[in-house]
Amino acid sequence: MAYLLGVVLFALAILVSVSLHEAGHMVTAKAFGMKVTRYFVGFGPTIWSFRRGETEYGLKGVPLGGFCKIVGMTPQDDDVEPGDEKRVMWRYPVWKRTIVMSAGSATHFALALVGIWIMAISAGLPNPQFPSTEEQIRAEPAVVALADCVVPEFANRACVAGDPASPAAAAQLRDGDRITSLNGAPVNDYGDLLAAIRTVAPGSTAQIGYVRDGQDATTSTVLAQTQRPPLDDPDGTVGPVAALGVGLIPSTPARVEYGPIAAFGATANFTGDLAVGTYEAMKRLPEKVPALWTAITGGERDIDTPVSVVGASRLGGEAVANNAWIVFFMLFISLNFFIGVFNLLPLLPLDGGHIAIAWFERARSWVYARLGMPDPGRVDYLKLMPLTYGVILIGGAFTLLTITADVVNPITLFSR
């Protein structure tokens, strides 16, 4: 039930953000005097609507987005009524058209920024000092957290009946103990602990030195067996190794909370990191197509592959089912930021394509004027239709691919 609630909540959050995107176009267009005839949430048959002034507002039957109709977006539009010729969008200065067309993405960015700021003062933002690379993790002090069991195979999953109990728990170790030696070999950091465990045969007894509350102590336990690749070759052949049944408690917190004022700087820094991550993710989109196809045809789903609205909603459902609201809101923030950036790409039919054409027209007119040549006028959108259809076809195919992968082989963030 919690999972279904999460899916519905996340899908509703996406619908609201897309509706606000279209509202951004509408509000700015009206502010400049452009004529807006319709603003609807959803597509398909009209369920309910009302008219206020010259605009019809309403709700349609398929809740998959929304739209805002601005009269005369291009010179080729034939929806201009007599008397509205001066109010068509394409006649307005390029800077006004740019504001109107970018208002949708600006809305997504605003949602993301407000969300980040709220996270900063409530749950906290990811700590940039938190160890994330293998090298940083191994350099941490060997302060351990006890696992519930030892998973015998090389897999990231929850414990199930039949898994060996944690040897560390059998040795009466506790969360927060710092291991200082194993079988007499000094342990200076977590990397030393991993290396020392690998020198012991599975099923052998290990003598463990540790510090608890500032007091030195010793204990012993029989190490369990698991499957792991070599420490110096994570992609190498998996084989049987000893396991103590512990993880690392990092010396720095994973998240940092900020006051209302300091949160503005933290929001800016996190947004910068988010922008870099979004850019890198968009660069990798083409190379992820084979991985998506592999996932559809029975292979393992790469967690780094793109997700559709369906996949994002399923992840939102997982987050709610596991009471991981931080994950839920971070998904919402990341998705809004990505949509905001993607929508500004200079390709039709995206808003960025209309902005690019508007500025191309302005630059071309300026060059022709300097050369003493007559203004060439507006771009003929009809000539760009083949390119537009190509973008729609590629985008539609990619969307269908991601939706299919999210249905038949979805990404999961939590062990089941």
Domain assignment of residue 193, yes or no = yes
**What's phi and psi for 60, nearest 5 deg?**
-110, 170
Domain assignment of residue 16, yes or no = no
Going by C-alpha positions, the residue among 207, 215, 156 that lies closest to residue 186 is 207
Report the alpha-carbon distance of residue 7 to residue 325 in Å, rounded.
Answer: 13
Report the alpha-carbon distance of residue 41 to residue 15 in Å, rounded.
Answer: 8
- For the chain, the domain total comes to 1
Report the alpha-carbon distance of residue 378 to residue 335 in Å, rounded.
Answer: 35
Domain assignment of residue 284, yes or no = no
Tell me the sheet residues that pair with 49: 58
Going by C-alpha positions, the residue among 255, 387, 395 that lies closest to residue 327 is 255
Domain assignment of residue 32, yes or no = no
Domain assignment of residue 197, yes or no = yes
From the number of C-beta atoms within 10 Å of its C-beta (0-12, 13-18, 19+), residue 365 rates as: middle
- pLDDT computed for residue 162 by the predictor: 86
Q: Coil, helix or strand for 339?
A: helix
CATH (domain of 184): 2.30.42.10
Q: Coil, helix or strand for 214?
A: coil
Q: Coil, helix or strand for 30?
A: helix
Going by C-alpha positions, the residue among 168, 150, 149 that lies closest to residue 208 is 168
Contacts with 202 (C-beta within 8 Å, 6 or more apart), sequence order? 223, 224, 225, 226, 240, 241, 242, 243
Domain assignment of residue 84, yes or no = no
Q: What is the CA 188 to chain-centroid distance, rounded? A: 37
**What's phi and psi for 168, nearest 5 deg?**
-65, -40
Domain assignment of residue 224, yes or no = yes
Report the alpha-carbon distance of residue 220 to residue 171 in Å, rounded.
Answer: 6
- pLDDT computed for residue 415 by the predictor: 57
- pLDDT computed for residue 186 by the predictor: 95
Domain assignment of residue 141, yes or no = yes
Which of the residues 22, 135, 153, 257 is marked catalytic?
A: 22
Find the domain containing 213 and state its range.
134-248
For the question of residue 280 being annotated catalytic, the response is: no
pLDDT digit string (tens) for 170-201?
Answer: 999 999 999 999 999 999 999 999 999 999 99
In terms of phi and psi (left: phi > 0; alpha: psi -120 to 50; beta: otherwise), the region of 323 is left
Report the alpha-carbon distance of residue 143 to residue 129 in Å, rounded.
Answer: 17
Assigned token pair, 133 = 């690379």
- pLDDT computed for residue 124 by the predictor: 92
Assigned token pair, 279 = 């850019």
- pLDDT computed for residue 169 by the predictor: 92
State which residues of the chain have pLDDT below 70: 415-416
Q: Coil, helix or strand for 367?
A: helix
Going by C-alpha positions, the residue among 135, 139, 157 that lies closest to residue 148 is 157
According to DSSP, residue 373 is labeled: -
**Ranges of H-type helices in 122-241:** 134-138, 167-170, 190-198
Helix (H), strand (E) at residue 396: helix 385-408
Residue with tokens 């973008």: 391
Contacts 24+ apart (CB under 8 A), 85-90: 87/33, 87/34, 87/35, 88/34, 88/35, 89/29, 89/34, 90/378
- pLDDT computed for residue 74 by the predictor: 86
Helix (H), strand (E) at residue 210: strand 205-212
Assigned token pair, 400 = 């269908």
